[in-house]
């Protein structure tokens, strides 16, 4: 191929809110001069002639979004083998926050985000015996195997896919040595030094190589992308839903928001489930249905929530007052107003305006279980 024509190709989707249509485009990036070009796959015509544009190649990935001259495109797949080979090489690892450590999920997510690693998938789950058996096959027959199986299926835990250069080693460094006593001596800031109870309940797990990571991610998240593990969400007796919005996920504020939330919970409430989702515009409209026609920001809210990954949180409680309490925690809808009158609220601390306002929280006691059910039942 002539050097001038060498290019990456990405199949993208643009959600046209006004027409309520998803428009497919191919985005090209020319390596020789950093120019871009767009092709409209519906009309089969050039949409944007080859032009200079500051495209951040590091930010390009499947399911991620890229803004081209104000148009938010979602990358759905690589357009050719050349592009796939160049981009599909990002290192991934399988990470697990083990049973007995669920209360530390907010702090552990913060540490992951601070380290620069990217959380690509996240789900709080109950490990089944079948999946655990496949995961820990190599330890079958060892003296500690029965205890290991008992531990891993005993309580809620969290499964994650982490991404980033060298992430297998970086995550294992963050975890620290297998035995917490050694961890305390050799790496006192490591997660096992801080949160492990003993060698069995040792807080976290990480794949030991890229090939193990591929195997473990396939087992836990399903080779077809459908995670076989049951969610931990509990809607009884009462629950409410918090959604950490895409801008905050992208800015790596999930851990800080969860920590802030956790501190504000009354003693009769707890975080029962946390999960990352990437909603389609149709799913977002379904979720935000009650706001259509009721708020001027509706279209912008749909655009934002469907623009990238969000994190849904289920808060369970013994009292229905939890719905009001979480609204209070979130603060005024517009972060600008929140910054003026409720400086300590989540929207004041983590949001920008009335659309990128860090969190969505259930408004009404009747809506809260429906919203939790949407994420933690319907989308499972
Ligand atoms: N001697 C032991 N006694 C009790 N449990 C053990 C022992 N060795 C390992 N385990 C348990 O089995 C898990 C898997 O063991 P492995 O040797 O693969 O450790 P690791 O690679 O540091 O940890 P992980 O695989 O969980 O990241 C350990 O995390 C620990 O929970």
pLDDT tens-place values along the chain, 380 residues long: 566 678 999 999 998 878 888 899 999 999 999 999 999 999 999 999 999 999 888 778 777 788 899 888 988 888 888 888 788 778 999 999 999 999 999 999 999 999 999 999 999 999 999 999 999 999 999 999 999 999 999 999 999 999 998 999 999 999 999 999 999 999 999 999 999 999 999 999 999 999 999 999 999 998 767 899 999 998 889 999 999 999 999 999 999 999 999 999 999 999 999 999 988 888 899 999 999 999 999 999 999 998 889 999 999 999 999 999 999 999 999 999 999 999 999 999 999 999 999 999 999 999 999 999 999 999 99
Say yes or no: domain 92-230 is CATH 1.10.3720.10.
no
Angle at 332 between CA 328 and CA 338, to 5 degrees: 110
Mapped onto helix, strand or coil, the DSSP state of residue 30 is strand
Ligand 1 atom nearest to 205, measured from its CA: 27
Task: Check whether 45 is labelled as a binding-site residue.
Answer: no
Question: Which tokens go with 330?
Answer: 């979130």
Residue 11's pLDDT is 93
Report, as residue numbers or ranges, the catalytic residues. Answer: 205, 360
Q: Is the Cβ atom of 202 under 6 angstroms away from ligand 1?
A: yes
Return the CATH architecture of domain 3-87. Roll (2.30)
Q: Tell me whether residue 98 is annotated as binding.
A: yes
Q: How far apart are CA 19 and CA 11, in angstroms?
A: 20
How far does the centroid of ligand 1 lie from the alpha carbon of residue 117, in Å?
Answer: 23
Predicted ipTM beyond 0.90: yes
Residue-range domain boundaries for the chain: 3-87, 92-230, 233-378
* Separation of CA 330 and ligand 1 centre (Å): 40
Measured distance CA(226)–CA(229) in Å, rounded: 9
Is 172 marked as a binding-site residue?
Answer: yes
Tell me which CATH homologous superfamily contains domain 233-378.
Answer: Nucleoside diphosphate kinase-like domain (3.30.70.141)
Q: Tell me whether domains 92-230 and 233-378 share a fold.
A: yes
Token duo for residue 64: 């991620």
Q: Which of 139, 178, 203, 204 to mutate to test the pocket of ligand 1 (most atoms within 8 A of CB)?
A: 178
């Amino acid at each position: 191929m002539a050097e001038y024509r060498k290019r990456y190709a990405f199949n993208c989707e643009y959600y046209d809110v006004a027409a309520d249509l998803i428009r497919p485009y191919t985005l090209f990036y020319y390596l020789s001069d950093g120019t871009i070009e767009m092709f409209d796959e519906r009309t089969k015509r050039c949409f944007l002639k080859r032009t200079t544009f500051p495209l951040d190649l590091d930010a390009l990935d499947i399911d991620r979004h890229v803004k081209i001259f104000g148009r938010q495109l979602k990358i759905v797949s690589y357009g050719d083998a050349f592009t796939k080979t160049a981009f599909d090489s990002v290192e991934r690892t399988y990470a697990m926050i083990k049973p007995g450590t669920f209360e530390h999920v907010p702090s552990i997510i913060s540490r992951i985000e601070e380290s620069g690693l990217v959380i690509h998938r996240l789900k709080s789950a109950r490990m089944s015996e079948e999946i655990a058996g496949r995961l820990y096959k190599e330890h079958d027959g060892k003296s500690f195997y029965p205890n290991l199986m008992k531990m891993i299926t005993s309580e809620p835990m969290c499964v994650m896919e982490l991404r980033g250069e060298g992430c297998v080693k970086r995550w294992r460094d963050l975890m620290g040595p297998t035995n917490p006593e050694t961890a305390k001596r050799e790496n006192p800031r490591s997660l096992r030094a801080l949160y492990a109870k003993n060698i069995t309940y040792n807080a976290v797990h990480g794949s030991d190589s890229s090939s193990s990571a591929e195997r473990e991610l396939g087992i836990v998240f399903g080779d077809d992308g459908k995670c076989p593990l049951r969610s931990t969400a509990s809607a009884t007796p009462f629950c409410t839903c918090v959604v950490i919005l895409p801008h905050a996920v992208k800015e790596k504020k999930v851990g800080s928001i969860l920590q802030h939330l956790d501190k504000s919970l009354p003693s009769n409430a707890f975080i029962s489930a946390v999960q990352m989702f990437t909603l389609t515009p149709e799913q977002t409209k379904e979720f935000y249905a009650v706001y259509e026609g009721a708020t001027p920001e509706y279209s912008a809210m749909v655009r934002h929530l469907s623009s990238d990954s969000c994190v849904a949180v289920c808060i369970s409680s013994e009292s229905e007052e939890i719905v009001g309490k979480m609204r209070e925690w979130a603060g005024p809808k517009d972060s600008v107003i929140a910054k003026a009158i409720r400086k300590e609220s989540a929207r004041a601390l983590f949001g920008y305006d009335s659309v990128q306002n860090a969190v969505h929280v259930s408004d009404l006691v009747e809506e809260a279980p429906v919203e939790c059910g949407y994420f933690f039942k319907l989308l499972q």
